[in-house]
Amino acid sequence: MSQTIYGYARVSTRSQYEDRQMLSLNSQFEILPKNIFVDKQSGSHFERPAYMRLLKKLQKGDLLVICSLDRLGRNYQEIQEQWRHLTHKLMIDIVVLDMPLLDTRGRRDLLGTLISDLVLQLLSFMAQNERENIHQRQSEGIRAARLRGVKFGRPTKFLAGDRARAQIIQEWLAHRITAAQAGAALGVSTRTLYRWLDKGILIPSNKQLK
């Protein structure tokens, strides 16, 4: 049975972050465009129509390539459930590009499966903790900014005259995207984002962002 290679990406911002994932997916594997599935929804609702279509396409022995483990779920439990569904029920292989240990190819024996499962449990737990720490830092930064009198409201409060960038900041402050995603979309580092937030300068002028 021939193996089909699929790629999956989940993005919460505009094309810049999506393009990075596309480059990563094709950096090691030649994936046909029709076999790359992308979900662009963001927010608290974790609806993933493209992922659901992908699940219907996957056949035993196929290979799924993802950039990072958190593409499979929002938390430890969801990641575990999806991993088991993909590897045990659908019996496909998975390659997680930023975690080389999570490569199930050639690990169908008992020991290989045990090692992959143990590594998965550890890394998915770490991924969830990192997201929770990021959210905590965001919340603390927002509370500190409010104590200094910084107002949160319409997009023009964040960046006058640039609704697209203002929307990105709103998504980040609402915890719908990560600081890394917001920074990538704005072309700045996460450290810069937190520095702006800490100083009450949520967004600099358009000139600074260019």
Active-site annotation, residues: 12
DSSP structure string for 108-164: -SHHHHHHHHHHHHHHHHHHHHHHHHHHHHHHHHHHHHHHTT----SHHHHSTT-HH
Q: Which of 27, 13, 180, 177 is nearest to 95 (CA)?
A: 27
How many other CB atoms are found less than 10 A from the CB of residue 112?
13
Instruction: Decide: helix, strand or coil at residue 94.
Output: strand
Tokens of 146: 């409010």
Tokens 């990075």 — which residue? 20
DSSP tally for the chain: helices H, then strands E:
9, 4
How many other CB atoms are found less than 10 A from the CB of residue 35?
18
